[in-house]
Amino acid sequence: MDNAYIITIGDELLNGNTLDSNSTWLSKKLSFFGIKVIEKISIPDDINIIENCINNVLEKNCEFLFITGGLGPTHDDITKAAIKNVTNSKLEFDQDYYTELKLKFKDKGIKFLENNKSQAMVLSNCVKIENPIGSALGINFDMKGSKVFVFPGVPKEMQVMFEKKILPKYFNDNNKIVNNVTLLTAGLHESYIYNEIEKLILNFSNYVKVAFLPKYTGVNIRLSLLNNNINTEKMFDLENKIRTKLGNKIYGSDNETLEEKLGELLIENNLNIAIAESCTGGLLSKLITDVPGSSRYYYGSTIAYKNDIKIKHLNVAEESINKFGAVSSEVVEEMAIGVREKFKSDIGFSISGISGPEGGSKEKPVGLVCMALSTNEKTISKRFNFLPDRKMHRQISSNVAMNMIRIYILKNYD
Amino acid sequence: MDNAYIITIGDELLNGNTLDSNSTWLSKKLSFFGIKVIEKISIPDDINIIENCINNVLEKNCEFLFITGGLGPTHDDITKAAIKNVTNSKLEFDQDYYTELKLKFKDKGIKFLENNKSQAMVLSNCVKIENPIGSALGINFDMKGSKVFVFPGVPKEMQVMFEKKILPKYFNDNNKIVNNVTLLTAGLHESYIYNEIEKLILNFSNYVKVAFLPKYTGVNIRLSLLNNNINTEKMFDLENKIRTKLGNKIYGSDNETLEEKLGELLIENNLNIAIAESCTGGLLSKLITDVPGSSRYYYGSTIAYKNDIKIKHLNVAEESINKFGAVSSEVVEEMAIGVREKFKSDIGFSISGISGPEGGSKEKPVGLVCMALSTNEKTISKRFNFLPDRKMHRQISSNVAMNMIRIYILKNYD
């Protein structure tokens, strides 16, 4: 099995300004080809530290080293200078790329400034990696048995360069292997799942490693082969046994999302949906429309932050709000019916809660949330208490909402 | 200046399943106290690798070492075993914590399972760190001059433990120092900004380091002191000069967000807003309501994915859609007027575009987006082309929308 190291470069990664999403993205892509990332290291924009770190990793005899960051046009981008030293290269002016660079700026309607000229300087002992969407070139070289690839830190540029320029050349789709599978669950606690499948895990422990990853959406269960390329059938055998044990608590696997799976279910059952949101303020609708093609089943939403809008535009009775409060089973049921009738959809779904930090009371603390689902057959509602942290409350509420719709369809239509 | 290392542990960090947000959060917190993170390392759930990595870092004489991950109740959580070896500890059963643990599960309504008992085993040569919201204890020990803190990998648990148990004891609020400031800009290209302030940067280059960080919202400019604690006035001097140069293109600084700053502007000017969204599907409303207290100025939204909803519920003329298309200046202007009149708000804002991957045409390619802003005085609209990537298109569109509202208020009210 081939090994890889990843070095991400940038002060912003070490002072908390930027989340390192590049190494995560690269790791995932590499795992599809059975390449295991052994270690990820983040270091600052310091030429000595960069040089030392690269030299140290090159001593470890890894197959691949991926480096991102510090190739931009401004003075703090010094990765190229460090690579120049590591590879003992000279800087050479690339006239062709300079011409291309000026055209790129023209096409985008951005003024070409002289500080961009540095991007046309290339390293004599390296090969350039073209950048189809940005101006900074990547760098490729081989050293001490390692293939080294250096990309700009802008995630989209790094991704496009890896997929268009590196994947086709170094990683063959035929080599794609399945050495792991992640099962996605919703609505269960980690220790409960572990208890349910502990025996299965033990039975397969010579072949498959099982890890539990708690997320907003629920707990992910990751199965991976202990020995690459062999015993694949053992892994799928365990996967099937876990699926049988946990039933519809598993909503998908690997890169699938709850919103995608919900979308598929709606399409399969020829159903469409409209949403009425209060506390989530658009997040539930945003998640549903994250899915390309969601216009096939999603009609629209009314976000009624103000009670007045609930009354005038969702047909909620003013009396219900006064008597039961805006966060109550009664009001969410009226909201779900209201939005379904108004937008003429098969399903109306509503959500109203107290995400905080203000707005809680003794009977209705921050964290409370009510949800309802309405069809022309019936209307049901549920009440939950989630963590009283505004951001998490909205995330968890939206995910539980999607799972509630999913389970309803599975039980009533599928 | 004190130095820190961060080690994050977990296979999921190296196979692309999980983004390492813990080290980013910790780095940011530490920077407030002038503690510089020198290196961040992510390693797998492998007891030998964990032990080696900790021992290596302890050789580097850092003041602090923070470790996260691998303290949970399941079999793949082996950080405690590695720390046991590093500290030469014995495992001891903590009866008090066992009793507390069972109560915690009872309070949450989760069944206590025997596999949770392992969480009451503590290390003889270490001090436990209490976990106010979860079941896994943290670990603290001193070795070779370094203070070492080990937290569970669940972000919220790590955060609460750091803030409630570690901050008050080791980091005094009086020691909080300002050695950096980040200016947040919207609507300008990195190379344009660099050109505008290049001379200023050079003039201050002996005192202040300037870095450019491109984001969805625009480009962040980070100023940091080269020598901690001295020349603070130089940094603020440069900050003021950059602010003067870039004017209202700077919307805020440090941890401020565009949505917060927009909210403040709406409050200052006693204005309220309603939104009509199509392509962004709720994202713009979600961002606006991410801000606690946004109910003071945000009334609600209509998300009209279906044209029928634009016509019936936003008073868009069917003829306009047929003649100009749903993504046109004419239609977004009608949407903005429609939602403003319907929800009786001061400002109505609308957005309609083609986020893709489907729905583009030659005249109206994927990436096109139209936005309009309406008050009872006037209605204006703008047309943009952004990257034809669904996720980025929706993000960029929503951020440009908020900036458009901000600039409008600054020019017309403030």
Which has the higher per-residue pLDDT, B281 or A2? B281
Helix (H) or strand (E) holding B192: helix B190-203
Q: Do A305 and B300 touch (CB under 8 A)?
A: yes
| CATH number assigned to the domain with residue range B258-412, chosen from the 4 options 3.40.50.300, 3.90.480.20, 3.90.950.20, 3.40.50.150 | 3.90.950.20
Q: Do A115 and B194 touch (CB under 8 A)?
A: yes
Q: Give Cα B169 to chain centroid, integer Å.
A: 26
Cα angle value B131/B58/B49 (rounded, 5°): 80
pLDDT digits 0-9 by tens, B292-344: 999 999 999 999 999 999 999 999 999 999 999 999 999 999 999 999 999 99
| CATH number assigned to the domain with residue range A3-175, chosen from the 4 options 3.20.20.150, 3.40.50.620, 3.65.10.10, 3.40.980.10 | 3.40.980.10
Q: Do B115 and A19 touch (CB under 8 A)?
A: no
In chain B, positions 355-394, which contact chain A (CB-CB < 8 Å)?
A: 356-358, 387, 389-392, 394
Span B277-287, average pLDDT: 98
Say how many C-beta atoms besides its own lie within 10 A of residue A343's C-beta.
Answer: 26
Using a CB-CB cut-off of 8 Å, the residues of chain B touching A309 are: 299-300, 343
Cα distance from N-terminal residue to C-terminal residue, chain A? 42
In chain B, positions 111-150, which contact chain A (CB-CB < 8 Å)?
A: 111, 113, 115-116, 133
The amino acid at B254: D
- At B173 the pLDDT is 67
Q: Whole-model pTM?
A: 0.80
The minimum CA-CA distance between B294 and chain A, rounded to whole Å, is 9
- At B41 the pLDDT is 97
Residue A207 φ/ψ, nearest 5 degrees: -120, -35
Q: Do A189 and B110 touch (CB under 8 A)?
A: yes
The minimum CA-CA distance between B113 and chain A, rounded to whole Å, is 7
- At A232 the pLDDT is 84
Residue B229 has pLDDT above 70, yes or no: no
* DSSP characters over B332-372: HHHHHHHHHHHHT-SEEEEEEE--SSS---SSS-TTEEEEE
Span B151-163, average pLDDT: 93
C-alpha to C-alpha distance for B24 and B40, rounded to whole angstroms: 9
The amino acid at B380: I
C-alpha to C-alpha distance for B138 and B11, rounded to whole angstroms: 20
Closest chain B residue by Cα to residue A385: B108
* Local confidence band at B94 (pLDDT 50, 70, 90 cut-offs): very high
Span B221-227, average pLDDT: 88
* DSSP characters over A343-412: HT-SEEEEEEE--SSS---SSS-TTEEEEEEE-SS-EEEEEEE--S-HHHHHHHHHHHHHHHHHHHHHHH
The amino acid at B338: G
C-alpha to C-alpha distance for A111 and A96, rounded to whole angstroms: 19
Span B89-102, average pLDDT: 92
Helix (H) or strand (E) holding B42: strand B36-43
Average pLDDT, chain B: 92
Q: Do B391 and A290 touch (CB under 8 A)?
A: yes
Helix axes A307-314, B329-343, angle to 10 degrees: 110
pLDDT digits 0-9 by tens, B25-70: 999 999 888 888 999 999 999 999 999 999 999 999 899 999 999 9
- At A173 the pLDDT is 67
Chain A interface includes B38 (CB < 8 A): yes
Q: Do A222 and B11 touch (CB under 8 A)?
A: yes
- N residues, chain B: 414
The minimum CA-CA distance between B139 and chain A, rounded to whole Å, is 21
Domain parsing of chain B, residue ranges: 3-175, 180-253, 258-412
Q: Give Cα A203 to chain centroid, integer Å.
A: 32
C-alpha to C-alpha distance for A115 and A120, rounded to whole angstroms: 10
What does the CA dihedral B111, B112, B116, B118 come to, rounded to 10 degrees? -170
Chain A interface includes B47 (CB < 8 A): no
Cα distance from N-terminal residue to C-terminal residue, chain B? 42
**Architecture (CATH level 2) of domain A180-253:** 2-Layer Sandwich (3.30)
- At B150 the pLDDT is 97
DSSP state of A294: G
| Percent of residues, chain B, with pLDDT higher than 70 | 97
**pLDDT tens, chain A, 414 aa long:** 689 999 999 998 998 888 999 999 999 999 888 888 999 999 999 999 999 999 999 999 899 999 999 887 776 779 999 999 999 999 999 999 999 988 888 777 677 777 778 889 999 999 999 998 888 999 999 999 999 999 999 898 999 999 999 988 888 766 677 788 999 999 888 888 988 999 999 999 999 989 888 887 789 999 988 876 677 889 999 999 999 999 999 999 988 999 999 999 999 999 999 999 999 999 999 999 999 999 999 999 999 999 999 999 999 999 999 999 999 999 999 999 999 999 999 999 999 999 988 888 888 989 999 999 999 999 999 999 988 889 989 999 999 999 999 999 999 987
C-alpha to C-alpha distance for A272 and A379, rounded to whole angstroms: 16
C-alpha to C-alpha distance for A156 and A25, rounded to whole angstroms: 10
- Percent helix, strand, coil in chain B, to 5, is 45, 25, 30
* Local confidence band at B190 (pLDDT 50, 70, 90 cut-offs): confident
C-alpha to C-alpha distance for B57 and B148, rounded to whole angstroms: 11
Using a CB-CB cut-off of 8 Å, the residues of chain A touching B44 are: 38
* Local confidence band at B278 (pLDDT 50, 70, 90 cut-offs): very high
Closest chain A residue by Cα to residue B112: A191
Helix axes B232-246, B190-203, angle to 10 degrees: 140
Q: Do B28 and A16 touch (CB under 8 A)?
A: yes
C-alpha to C-alpha distance for A20 and A44, rounded to whole angstroms: 13
- At A228 the pLDDT is 64
Size of interface A-B (CB pairs under 8 A): 295
Which residues 6+ apart lie within 8 Å of A81 measured at CB?
A47
C-alpha to C-alpha distance for B166 and B42, rounded to whole angstroms: 22
Comparing CA positions, the residue from A280, A257, A278 lying closest to residue A397 is A280
- Residue A60, SS3? coil
Sign of CA dihedral A307, A310, A312, A317: negative
C-alpha to C-alpha distance for A221 and A218, rounded to whole angstroms: 10
The minimum CA-CA distance between B170 and chain A, rounded to whole Å, is 19
The minimum CA-CA distance between A142 and chain B, rounded to whole Å, is 23
Chain A interface includes B259 (CB < 8 A): no
Q: Do A37 and B25 touch (CB under 8 A)?
A: no
pLDDT digits 0-9 by tens, B107-125: 766 777 777 788 899 999 9
* Local confidence band at B189 (pLDDT 50, 70, 90 cut-offs): confident
Structure tokens at B104: 């915690």
Comparing CA positions, the residue from B77, B137, B76 lying closest to residue B104 is B137
- Percent helix, strand, coil in chain A, to 5, is 45, 25, 30
